[in-house]
Amino acid sequence: MWDDLDYNPGRTNNWGEEWIDDNTGSELEQLTTGNDVIDYEGCESCAHSNGPSNKARINCVLKGQGVWYLMAKLAGWNNTGDTLDIDQSIFDRGFPIRHAVDGDWAGAQSFTPTVDTITSVDVYLRKFGTPEFDLTVELRIDNPEGILHDIVVFTPAQIGTSFTWLSIDFIDTAVVPGTDYFIVIPPAPSGVTTSFGYEWGYAFGNQYNDGAFWFTRDGGVLWRDLPTMYEFSFRLYGC
C-alpha cells in the first residue's frame, strides 16, 4: 500500500515533511534524510512512501524499527537496557509445576547477584495441557518461603506450549551483600483438580556455582535443594 503521508482535503499537508522540518538534528530525522551524517545518505528508497523531498520516507524508517524490535523480542532480547548478570541458559528437561496425586509440585532457584540492583529475570518454560491456574513468579529473599519482594502473574493464555524465555519485570530491588535471592514458581492453589500445569526448564549438573535448584512436592511444606545435581534455566538482569 502506498502512502505519501498527505492529509487534509486535497492532500495539502504532509505530516512526514512537517515532522522532519520540526525535528532537525534528531536521530529519526537523520536516519530519514542523512543530514549531517558522514557516509550516510539517508533512506534512499521506500516501497511505501516518498512525498515532498522524500521526507515521507520516515514512514519506512519507522516500520523498519518496528520490525527490528519485533524480531529482537522474538529472539529473546530484554529491552530494559540493563546488564545481563547471570546467564544459566543450559536446558535438558522440564520440571513440572502442577497438582499431582502425591502433592503439589513447585520449584525455586537461588542466586547471588553481582549487580547493585535486580531489575528483571527470564525463566525458560512452557505450559502443558490446559492448566486451571495462573503461572505465578515470585522474587523472595533468604529461602523459597522467605520475604516476598515482588510477584508477577501470567494467565495460561499468556504462556505457550513450546519452551521459550519468559521475561519477568520485577520491582527494582537493591541488592544486600551476603543475601540469598530466590526466583520461586509456587505450587498450584487449592481447588485444582487436574495435573495440567507448567514446566520450568532445568539442566543436569552444577551449571551455576552461586545458587541452587530447589523443589517441593508437598505444596511447600518441605523444600529441598540439590545444588550439585541440577540448575533451573534462568537469566538475571540488573544495573
Kindly report, residue by residue over 50-76, the tens digit of the pLDDT. 655 567 777 777 777 777 766 766 666
Q: Are strands 135-141 and 147-154 parallel, antiparallel or unpaired?
A: antiparallel
Domain ranges of the chain: 6-74, 83-238
What radius of gyration do the chain's Cα atoms show?
24
Nearest to residue 216, comparing CAs of 96, 110, 112?
96
110-123 per-position pLDDT tens digit = 999 999 999 999 99
131-163 per-position pLDDT tens digit = 999 999 999 999 999 999 999 999 999 999 999
Half-sphere exposure of 43 (CA within 13 A, CB side): 26
Q: What is the pLDDT of residue 57?
A: 75
Q: What is the pLDDT of residue 30?
A: 79
Residue 1 in this model has a pLDDT that exceeds 60: no
User: DSSP states of 144-168 as a string?
Assistant: TTSEEEEEEEE-GGGS-SS-EEEEE
Give the range among 13-17, 19-23, 195-199 with minimum mean pLDDT. 13-17
The hierarchical CATH code for the domain 83-238 is 2.60.120
205 within 8 A of 148, measured Cβ to Cβ: no
Q: What is the pLDDT of residue 17?
A: 79
